[in-house]
């Protein structure tokens, strides 16, 4: 079959989906197919949409995007529309009926099939040759696929399947290739980082993997995302504490703090264990930035249970918090429960928590004024260079704004003295010897 000459890849959803798109783009590129990212200039005959399908809002966005490109196809501006990812993995049959204009639907494990459908040859040995969609100085490194947990509200195990760890060799090879592309910060991701190795090596191997990546001496920052709050691999805190290139930062979604709800969510952790875990981190790594996420409006969540969560957030003063409203998902254990919290109440609870967190973030940021931090420049925006400290992950956390008069380039590290702060941003200026490492 004659290869599709030019293909634009549209990526929706999480960073794990983004890596899948980048792997697909890498495969198409080595087959000399012109590959465009979503915002790249130029025309593409074919569009592949990598969808997200795990909660309602994400599904709507995916369907709107598909319908948008079907309109382009009807107008003859593009020839083909293909759909891949979580939405088509989960809802292929109804999609085939609802939107038959899509040339073909693929799942989450179909990259080889897609490459062949594009008339190209899938290269099995192409480990880590990704076409990055992030700025070249940072990249996500997916260390496993799927999840073996059974959180009652979550459809992901049903979409992405059981947990499959990548081999350490493949991860190190991929990381080395990313460094060759100029990547200075790698963000380790999977559904549950703490599970890494249990399938392949029959024991948790996250600390060993992080140390192996750190021993490469290729990255300034190694960041850990999506830790699960039970069974933290022993030695992980020591690894973070002893390795300056491992960011003093963790992302550990907790979802709730009330014992009845944690039990109903099948999280396998209690409020007491959660508090103990956080204080363990705080005692050992007082400077560490802790990001977490909570769900409000879970079936049956009473005012008291919500207030308990509110109090927990006020007391614990997390550095970064994401709040989601409960989404009643088919094929999940919670779907048997009555989705009895009205949408309006869910949204009100979510914004109440975000208001509390905004004040906490403002206070914590104010404590940074006068201090000096190593900052990675992500972009230039108007009169500012915009960067991050090791306590901030791209796209989701705080940023540092430096006046554009500073002689900087995107991807540079520099040393910045913080001169001002608000709830989610810091303002700073370069120190005299800003190019010298801190
Ligand atoms: S850990 Fe829980 S919430 Fe996260 S992907 Fe697995 S089942 Fe879903």
Per-residue pLDDT of the chain (438 residues; tens, 9 = 90+): 556 789 999 999 999 999 999 999 999 999 999 999 999 999 999 999 999 998 989 999 999 999 999 999 999 999 999 999 999 999 999 999 999 999 999 999 999 999 999 999 999 888 788 999 999 999 999 999 999 999 999 999 999 999 999 999 999 999 999 999 999 999 999 999 999 999 999 999 999 999 999 999 999 999 999 999 998 988 999 999 999 999 999 999 999 999 999 999 999 999 999 999 999 999 999 999 999 999 999 999 999 999 999 999 999 999 999 999 999 999 999 999 999 999 999 999 999 999 999 999 999 999 999 999 999 999 999 989 999 999 999 999 999 999 877 778 999 999 999 999 999 999 999 987 666 555
pTM: 0.95
191 Cα: distance to centroid of ligand 1 (angstroms) = 6
Residue 220 DSSP label: S
156 Cα: distance to centroid of ligand 1 (angstroms) = 6
Give me the CATH code for the 6-117 domain, please.
3.40.50.12160
Tell me the CA distances in angstroms from 49 to 29, 102, 114, one per residue in order. 17, 10, 11
Q: Which CATH class is domain 138-366?
A: alpha beta
- For residue 237, give the nearest of 197, 282, 191 by alpha carbon: 282
Q: Are strands 6-11 and 34-36 parallel, antiparallel or unpaired?
A: parallel
- For residue 341, give the nearest of 261, 259, 253 by alpha carbon: 261
Domain boundaries, the chain: 6-117, 138-366, 372-430
Q: Tell which one of 149, 228, 231 to mutate to probe ligand 1, the residue whose CB is within 8 A of the most ligand atoms.
A: 149
75 Cα: distance to centroid of ligand 1 (angstroms) = 41
Residue 150 CA, closest ligand 1 atom number: 7
- Cα–Cα distance measured from residue 68 to residue 372, given in angstroms and rounded to the nearest whole number: 46
267 Cα: distance to centroid of ligand 1 (angstroms) = 9
Tell me if 6-117 shares its fold with 372-430: no
Residue 192 CA, closest ligand 1 atom number: 1
CATH superfamily of 372-430: Nucleic acid-binding proteins (2.40.50.140)
CB 1 within 8 A of CB 37: no
Residue 155 CA, closest ligand 1 atom number: 8
Other CB atoms within 10 Å distance of the CB of residue 14:
18
Which residues surround ligand 1 with Cβ inside 6 Å? Answer: 147, 149, 151, 154, 156-157, 191-192, 228
353 Cα: distance to centroid of ligand 1 (angstroms) = 22
Residue 228 CA, closest ligand 1 atom number: 1
């Amino acid at each position: 079959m004659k290869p599709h000459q030019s293909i634009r890849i549209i990526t929706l959803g999480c960073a794990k989906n983004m890596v899948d798109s980048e792997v697909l783009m890498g495969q198409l590129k080595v087959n000399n197919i012109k590959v465009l990212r979503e915002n790249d200039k130029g025309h593409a005959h074919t569009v592949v949409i990598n969808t997200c399908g795990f909660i309602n809002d994400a599904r709507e966005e995916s369907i709107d995007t598909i319908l948008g490109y079907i309109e382009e196809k009807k107008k003859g501006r593009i020839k083909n529309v293909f759909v891949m990812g979580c939405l088509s993995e989960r809802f292929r049959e109804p999609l085939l009926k609802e939107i038959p204009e899509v040339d073909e639907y693929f799942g989450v494990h179909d990259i080889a099939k897609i490459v062949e459908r594009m008339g190209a040859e899938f290269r099995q040995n192409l480990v880590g040759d990704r076409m990055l969609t992030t700025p070249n100085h940072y990249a996500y490194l997916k260390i496993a696929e799927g999840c073996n947990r059974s959180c009652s509200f979550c459809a992901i195990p049903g979409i992405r399947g059981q947990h499959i760890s990548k081999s350490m060799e493949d991860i190190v090879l991929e990381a080395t290739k990313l460094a060759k592309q100029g990547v200075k910060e790698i963000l380790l991701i999977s559904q549950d980082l703490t599970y890494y190795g249990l399938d392949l090596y029959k024991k948790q191997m996250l600390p060993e993997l992080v140390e192996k990546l750190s021993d490469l001496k290729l990255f300034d920052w190694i960041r850990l995302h999506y830790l699960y709050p039970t069974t933290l691999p022993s030695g992980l805190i020591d690894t973070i504490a002893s390795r300056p290139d491992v960011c003093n930062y963790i992302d550990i979604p907790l979802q709730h703090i009330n014992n009845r709800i944690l039990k109903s969510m099948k999280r396998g952790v209690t409020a007491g264990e959660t508090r103990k875990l956080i204080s363990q981190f705080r005692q050992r790594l007082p400077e560490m930035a802790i990001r977490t996420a909570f769900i409000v409006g879970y079936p049956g969540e009473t005012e008291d249970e919500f207030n308990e969560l509110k109090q927990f957030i006020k007391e614990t003063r997390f550095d970064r918090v994401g709040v989601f409203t409960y989404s009643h998902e088919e094929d999940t254990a919670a779907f048997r429960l009555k989705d009895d919290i009205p949408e309006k109440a869910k949204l009100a609870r979510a914004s109440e928590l975000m208001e509390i967190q905004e004040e906490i973030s403002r206070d914590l940021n104010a404590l940074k004024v006068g201090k000096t931090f190593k900052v990675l420049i992500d972009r230039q925006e108007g009169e500012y260079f915009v960067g991050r400290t090791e306590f901030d992950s791209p796209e989701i956390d705080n940023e540092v704004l430096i006046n554009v008069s500073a002689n900087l380039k995107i991807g540079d590290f520099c040393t910045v003295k913080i001169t001002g702060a608000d709830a989610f941003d810091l303002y700073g200026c370069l120190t005299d010897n800003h190019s010298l490492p801190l």
